[in-house]
Amino acid sequence: MYGATCLVLENITLDGCTYSQCGDVVFSFKLLMSFDFAFILHIMKNVMGITDVLCQALQQRSQDILNAMHLVTTTKTLIQKLRDDSWETLLEEVTSFCKHQDIEVPNMNAYFSNVGRSRLKKKSVAVEHHYRVDIFTAIIDQQLQELNNIFNEQTIELLKLSTSLDPKNSYKLFNVEDICLLVDKFYPEDFSDQEKNHLRLQL
């Protein structure tokens, strides 16, 4: 897909286009052939490869809550593992890709200079630090934060406890302790003390 896109852009410039179109094509081609683009492309491919299973599962109406919550937990774990253990592998993949596509790979040990950066900001850092911390870690942390905001511990616990009320398979998941905990933790104002005391016996 990447190679085909670059080829199309090259063909557009060769086959002729307006001055404005040529400018857009040249700019787009330059971006596609940059290390930054290849680097971010590979990060997103890895992140989306992990989150795709969860996204597909959540779109299925027949998906049961327990399985969905298990997928959420697994997805968070895999993304965290990507953050902690995959930097070297990712850098090797991107470097190999760039060499194959004739994209210039920056010297990771050189100092990173950001054009237009304020002189008041901290001293220069290594190129590797920029890609690892400012891009790789930042993107993954953003994904983790988004998952944690949507599926925080309280939400996951509420959904898991709620499965005790699922009527499927003749209330197979029915659990007295979970229902009582659900009432105590999430609906304390909806039940009087007397109702709470009788609830366990009624269940």
More confident residue, 179 or 40: 40
Give me the pLDDT at residue 92, please. 96
- Residue 134: pLDDT over 90: yes
Burial 143-169 (b: 16+ CB within 10 A, else e): bbeebeeebeeeebeeebbbbbeeeee
Helices within the chain (DSSP H only): 2-15, 19-32, 35-58, 65-85, 87-100, 127-129, 138-150, 153-162, 168-171, 176-186, 193-202
pLDDT reported for residue 54: 85
Percent with pLDDT over 70 in the chain = 82
Task: Provide the token pair at 189.
Answer: 């104002």
pLDDT tens by residue, 18-66? 666 666 767 777 888 899 999 999 999 999 999 998 888 878 766 577 7
Whole-prediction pTM? 0.71
Rounded-to-integer distance, Cα 132 and Cα 138, Å: 8
